[in-house]
C-alpha cells in the first residue's frame, strides 16, 4: 500500500501540473527535497503567470519517529495509543490562488499514514478532501464543485458524502471569526473502516476528481472584469485564509512539529493578503452575500 499510494500521488501531481501549465502559460519551479529524519518530497510552485498569483502542488513521502507533540497534533485519538511512534506518511497537497477575485481559491489534499508497520488494527488510515474558497459567490460554481465530489463518494461504499460535507464545514471553521473559510467540499480523516484497497480506491477516485471539479469554474471566472474594490475584498478574504491555516490547520501543525520543509508547509499561503482594521461590508452587497453564507453553510445539492 505504501508504494501504491506513492505512485498515485506522484501521478496526480504530474496530471494536475500539466493542466495548470496549459492554462497559466508558465512553467513551475520544482524543488526536490530530503528530510534529515527520513524521506522527502517534490514541491512544484507556479507564480508570475497570467492566471495564478501563486499555485502549488506538493508531494511528500516521509518517515521517522513521532514526538508526543506531533502525535497529539494528528488528532483522531491516535495520540492516546502511546506507542508505535515510528511512522510513515505520504500525500499530495495543493492550493491554487488565482489573480482574478471572481475565480475561487481551491485546496485539496489526499494522504496515507501508518504507525509502526501498519499491520495492527487502527495503525493505518487515509485522509483528505477538497474545498472551495471564493471571494464572490456564484451558486452554480458551488453546486458543480459539490456534485463532482458527491459523485466520487457515491461510487464507493466506504464513503459518505453528507458526513464528509458536514465534516468539511466544521473543520474549516475560523472559530474566532464565527465563519467558515469557504464554501466547503468534503473532508475525512482516520479512514480505515474498510480494507486498505477499498479505502485506497476511494482516495484515488477523489484525487482524479479534482480537475473536473475545479477547472470548469476557473475557465468561467479567470477573465471576468473586476474593480480595484473587488481586488481589495479578495485580499481581505485571503487574510482569513491565512488565519485559519496558521491558527487551526492540523496539517500545518503536524508539519511544523515534525521538522517538515517550511517552504512546502507554508506554500498554501497566498502571495499577498490584507488585514484592514474593523472592516465592514455594505448590507445587501455581493460581499455581504458571501459573508452570510460563510456564517451559515448551505447544502448546495438541495434545490
pLDDT (tens digit, 9 = 90+) per residue, 183-227?
999 999 999 999 999 999 999 999 999 999 999 999 999 999 999
Residue 112 lies in a domain: yes
The better pLDDT of the pair 68, 135 is held by 135
Q: What does the pLDDT read at residue 70?
A: 67
Whether 149 and 161 have beta carbons less than 8 Å apart is answered as: yes
Active-site choice (78, 107, 144, 146): 107
Strands 124-133 and 173-174: unpaired
Q: Which of the residue ranges 79-93, 113-127, 212-226, 246-260 has the most confident prediction, judged by mean pLDDT?
A: 212-226
| Known active-site residue 99 | no
Residue 302 lies in a domain: no
Measured CA to CA, the distance from residue 224 to residue 214 in angstroms comes to: 16
Sequence-separated (6 or more) residues with CB below 8 Å from residue 51:
23, 24, 25, 98, 99, 100, 103, 218, 222
Q: What beta strand segments (E) does the chain contain?
A: 29-34, 39-47, 52-65, 86-98, 105-115, 124-133, 173-174, 179-180, 184-191
122-142: average pLDDT: 95
Measured CA to CA, the distance from residue 290 to residue 303 in angstroms comes to: 19
Sequence-separated (6 or more) residues with CB below 8 Å from residue 159:
152, 153, 188, 202
- pLDDT bracket for residue 12 (50, 70, 90): very high
Residue 301 lies in a domain: no
The mean-pLDDT minimum among 115-124, 199-208, 289-298 falls in: 115-124
Measured CA to CA, the distance from residue 154 to residue 266 in angstroms comes to: 33
- pLDDT bracket for residue 37 (50, 70, 90): confident
Which grid coordinates belong to 247? 491558527
Measured CA to CA, the distance from residue 177 to residue 241 in angstroms comes to: 12
Measured CA to CA, the distance from residue 231 to residue 41 in angstroms comes to: 34
Question: By C-alpha distance, which of 76, 81, 55, 44 is closest to 66?
Answer: 81
34-51: average pLDDT: 92
Measured CA to CA, the distance from residue 155 to residue 159 in angstroms comes to: 8
Residue 125 lies in a domain: yes
Residue 300 lies in a domain: no
- Return the CATH number at 26: 3.40.1500.10
Count of domains observed in the chain: 1
Query: Alpha carbon of 72 to those of 79, 250, 254, 257: distances in Å?
Result: 5, 10, 9, 10
The residue segments making up the domain with residue 67 are 2-295
Question: By C-alpha distance, which of 19, 114, 83, 88 is closest to 57?
Answer: 19
Residue 20 lies in a domain: yes
Tell me, letter by letter, the H, E, C secondary structure of 129-166. Answer: EEEEECCCCCHHHHHHHHHHHHHHHHCCCCCCHHHHHH
Would the pLDDT of 289 be above 70?
A: yes
Residue 239 lies in a domain: yes
Sequence-separated (6 or more) residues with CB below 8 Å from residue 140:
none
Residue 59 lies in a domain: yes
81-97: average pLDDT: 85
Amino acid at each position: 500500500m505504501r508504494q501504491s499510494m506513492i505512485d498515485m500521488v506522484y501521478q496526480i501531481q504530474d496530471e494536475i501540473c500539466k493542466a495548470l501549465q496549459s492554462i497559466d502559460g508558465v512553467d513551475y519551479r520544482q524543488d526536490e527535497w530530503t528530510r534529515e529524519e527520513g524521506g522527502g518530497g517534490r514541491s512544484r510552485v507556479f507564480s508570475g503567470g497570467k492566471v495564478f498569483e501563486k499555485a502549488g502542488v506538493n508531494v511528500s513521502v516521509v518517515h521517522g519517529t513521532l514526538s508526543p507533540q506531533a502525535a497529539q497534533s494528528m488528532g483522531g485519538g491516535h495520540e492516546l495509543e502511546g506507542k508505535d511512534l515510528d511512522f510513515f506518511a505520504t500525500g499530495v497537497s495543493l492550493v491554487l490562488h488565482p489573480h482574478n477575485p471572481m475565480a475561487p481559491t481551491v485546496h485539496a489534499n489526499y494522504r496515507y499514514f501508518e504507525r509502526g508497520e501498519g499491520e495492527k488494527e487502527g495503525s493505518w488510515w487515509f485522509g483528505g478532501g477538497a474545498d472551495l474558497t471564493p471571494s464572490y459567490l456564484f451558486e452554480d460554481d458551488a453546486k458543480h464543485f459539490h456534485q463532482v465530489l458527491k459523485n466520487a463518494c457515491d461510487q464507493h461504499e466506504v464513503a459518505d458524502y453528507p458526513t464528509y460535507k458536514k465534516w468539511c464545514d466544521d473543520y474549516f471553521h475560523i472559530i474566532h471569526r464565527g465563519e467558515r473559510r469557504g464554501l466547503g467540499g468534503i473532508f475525512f480523516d482516520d479512514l480505515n473502516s474498510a480494507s486498505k484497497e477499498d479505502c485506497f480506491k476511494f482516495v484515488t477516485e477523489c484525487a482524479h476528481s479534482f480537475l473536473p471539479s475545479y477547472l470548469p469554474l476557473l475557465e468561467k471566472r479567470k477573465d471576468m472584469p473586476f474593480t480595484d474594490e473587488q481586488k481589495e475584498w479578495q485580499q481581505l478574504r485571503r487574510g482569513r485564509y491565512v488565519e485559519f491555516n496558521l491558527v487551526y490547520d492540523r496539517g500545518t501543525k503536524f508539519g511544523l512539529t515534525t521538522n517538515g520543509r517550511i517552504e512546502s508547509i507554508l506554500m498554501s499561503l497566498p502571495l499577498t493578503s490584507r488585514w484592514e482594521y474593523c472592516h465592514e461590508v455594505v448590507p445587501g452587497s455581493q460581499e455581504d452575500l458571501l459573508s452570510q453564507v460563510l456564517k451559515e453553510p448551505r447544502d448546495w445539492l438541495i434545490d
